[in-house]
Amino acid sequence: MDEELSLLAGRGVLLTGATGSLGKHVLCTLLSAHGKPVEPCPAGIQGTIFVLIRPRGSADAAHRLHRDVFRSPCFDQLRNRPDWALLQASCVPVTGERGVADLALGKAQLSRLRNQCGVVLHCGRTRSRVEEATFTNLCAASQLFGMLTKGKRKSQPVSYTHL
């Protein structure tokens, strides 16, 4: 596992599906992988974990990241670490919505993701009706990858993994 995680070192990661069981465990693994993440800076740097989360009701991505993800039992050990605040700060919540043009990311957010993400870990899925599941699990994922790679040079590859 350490060898696989070392491939992510110094690369911005976009994680989808973090509010689900698999996504929570993937995020927890990323945060605890090497004991300490790359420290983020105000402008954002490589090594940041962007967490794409759909809003629910009045709860935006930032609220859901703290309420629905970081409070999960799989983060119990991390919450007891003295660097827990730093670990949380390495995660940047991104509000996105499937079925909306450009996933409702906005030009500035999309530009930031294009410039800083080298890896997409897609854990998002749904088990609802076949049509909705197909859209979420395949079409929205393909749309996201296309949006991130649009205009990128070959020297700026984006790795995409559908978990």
Residue 51 CA to residue 86 CA, distance in Å, equals 16
Q: For the chain, give the mean pLDDT.
A: 78
Residue 124 DSSP SS3: coil
Helix axes of 140-149 and 107-116: crossing angle, nearest 10 degrees: 70
Residue 144 has pLDDT above 80, yes or no: no
Residue 95 has pLDDT above 60, yes or no: yes
Residue 91 CA to residue 82 CA, distance in Å, equals 17
Please compute the mean of the pLDDT values over residues 97-119 and round it to a whole number.
Answer: 82
Residue 1 CA to residue 87 CA, distance in Å, equals 20
Instruction: Give residue 38's pLDDT.
Output: 44
Residue 118 CA to residue 163 CA, distance in Å, equals 17
Residue 76 CA to residue 103 CA, distance in Å, equals 32
pTM of the model: 0.81
In this structure, are residues 113 and 71 in contact, taking their beta carbons and an 8 Å threshold? no
Instruction: Give residue 36's pLDDT.
Output: 46
Helix (H) or strand (E) holding 32: helix 21-32
Instruction: Give residue 3's pLDDT.
Output: 59
User: For the residues of 50-116, what is the DSSP string, one character each?
Assistant: EEEE--BTTB-HHHHIIIIITTSGGGHHHHTSTTHHHHHHTEEEEE--TTSGGGG--HHHHHHHHHH
Please compute the mean of the pLDDT values over residues 114-136 and round it to a whole number.
Answer: 72
Backbone torsion region of residue 12, taken as left when φ is above 0, otherwise alpha when ψ lies between -120 and 50, otherwise beta: beta
Strands 12-16 and 49-53 turn out to be: parallel
> Of 17-21, 64-68, 108-112, 113-117, which one has max mean pLDDT?
64-68
pLDDT tens digit sequence for 24-83: 999 998 888 744 444 444 444 446 899 999 888 999 999 999 999 999 999 999 999 998
